[in-house]
A and B are shown apart, each in its own frame.
Chain A
Amino acid sequence: MINHHPKNDILTAFVSGQLPASVSVVVASHVELCEHCQQQVELITAQQAASAFNSASDNELIGEAPISNSEIDELDMIDMITALEPDTASVETAPVEVAVNSKLLTLPSALRQVVLKEWQGLGKLSRARFDLDDDEMRMSLLHIDKGGSVPTHTHKGFEVTLLLEGSFDDEMGHYSVGDFIWLDGEHTHQPVTQEGCVCLTVSSDAIHFTQGVSQILNPIGRFIY
């Protein structure tokens, strides 16, 4: 049962296409698993469409005179477009599977075309990066083996996590498959997993350890980011 959802303002930014690509992928992956958020997204999309197309204020935002194509440009564009053939090729929808710790995991559809790089391990942690160019954001699959944990840390930037398999706990709660977690510098936590877990994560900066000898832990911070 999914208990942790993106907040409404995140869903709204998602629908309007204003989130960074990698964060959009994580939100989309949650929505794919979560009926509740599917309904929310449907609702917000209809609202956004209404405000983009129904409003009586075509001219307001651009100023007095609507900047518009001349009549001739418009007809050219219509001629050009209507000369094209309809696009009847069916969309590739086969799920993509990857091996995580020698078990197969079905990736969310939003990741269908994104290349996963090789796994790297550090103790009970392993991670594989996705090859997605998105400013300073990095997207990875993070696998924590049975009984593993990430030492207590906070985040310099933000970290978005979607639990794809297994479960974990931290000071703030228990998380299971489909849960969406958005953390930033205000949160300090130590995720622990009994049964092991696989997460899809996006971080905007290295994580910052708050306990122990930080110099020793710094490589892990960079590793996870």
Chain B
Amino acid sequence: MLRIDDYVEQLKARAMQKSVAAIDKKEVCTINANTMENQVPPELSQWLVDVANVRCKRAFTELFRFFSPKIKRFGIKQLGNEAQANELIQDTMTNVWKKAHLYNADKGAATTWVYTIMRNASFDMLRRIKSKGEVQLADDIWPTFADEQPEEVMFGDHLMEKQMFNYVDSLPEAQKAVVKGVYYQELSQEQLAKQLGVPVGTIKSRLRLALAKLKKQLGESND
């Protein structure tokens, strides 16, 4: 019953650790000073694109660091306790990781996209708690993830582009990541090697294999 005092003590102890950790961090990590500020870092959108295209764990970690304290604040307000707020962080960030390819930078800010994911996760959590509703309704109510229906009138270029995307998607994962990194994100082979943690030579050979495969596919379909 009278656990509240213990709990408060725990919180205090944790807050203490936290502020010590924060001081450590400030000394070690001065480069990231800008992102430690509470303003929105301009890289958010690029991080989402990196997660989508090359499953970049570092970019995801940056996203996690920026969003999780804010999701927690939202969660405590909406769901009323810390355990559920933590669950909301997990649900939201899992969906960010799994659905990053559905983020479209032309359609809105990264913060807006993550907000809709957080809101949907929170809505379905509340329903699970309140009414044991099994059906996940939020994505139907706010169709954030609805696949874009192809425009009825498509220009030749778009069709070709789309076909190209399909070919690229059919490549083996390792080759796909290289093609996407080089052609969609315009990374240098060196940058990509660093990001994927493989030697530059591997990037070169994967790229060669992938391009040969794409050429073959395009040749075949042009017959």
Contact = CB atoms under 8 A, between A and B. Distances in A.
Interface of A: 15-17, 21, 24-25, 28, 42, 45-46, 48-50, 52-58, 61-62, 64-71, 74, 77-78, 81-82, 84-88, 90-91, 93, 109-114, 132-135
Interface residues of B, number: 71
B55 A86 contact: yes
A56 B39 contact: yes
A87 B108 CA distance: 21
B78 A17 contact: yes
Contact of A77 (B74, B93, B108): B93
Given A53-B67, A87-B95, 13 more contacts: A28-B141, A45-B116, A49-B112, A50-B111, A66-B18, A70-B14, A70-B17, A81-B60, A81-B94, A82-B97, A86-B52, A86-B101, A93-B149
A105 to B, nearest CB: 17
Contact of A69 (B68, B73, B127, B147): B68
A131 to B, nearest CB: 9
Nearest to A24: B141
Nearest to A114: B135
Contacts of B132: 133
A183 to B, nearest CB: 22
Interface stretch (B82-90, B150-158, B183-191, B202-210): B82-90
Contacts of A52: 70, 73-74, 111, 115, 118
A85 B98 contact: yes
10 contacts: A17-B123, A17-B126, A24-B123, A48-B115, A74-B65, A113-B135, A113-B140, A133-B131, A133-B132, A135-B130
B69 A49 contact: no
A74 B141 contact: no
Contacts of B68: 69, 74
A137 to B, nearest CB: 10
Contacts of B72: 62, 67-68
A81 B90 contact: yes
A25 B131 CA distance: 16
A49 B116 CA distance: 8
B168 interface: no
Contacts of A15: 119
B21 interface: yes
A53 B115 contact: yes
B15 A91 contact: no
Given A81-B90, A86-B55, A67 B40 contact: no
A46 B125 CA distance: 22
Given A54-B39, A61-B77, A82-B97, A77 B89 contact: yes
B195 to A, nearest CB: 14
Given A77-B90, A133-B131, A53 B70 contact: yes
Contacts of A133: 131-133
B69 A110 contact: no
Contact of B147 (A61, A74, A90): A90
Given A17-B78, A67-B14, A25 B139 contact: no
Given A46-B108, A56-B39, A84 B98 contact: yes
B94 A110 contact: no
B100 interface: yes
A14 to B, nearest CB: 9
A78 B61 contact: yes
A66 B140 contact: no
A110 to B, nearest CB: 5
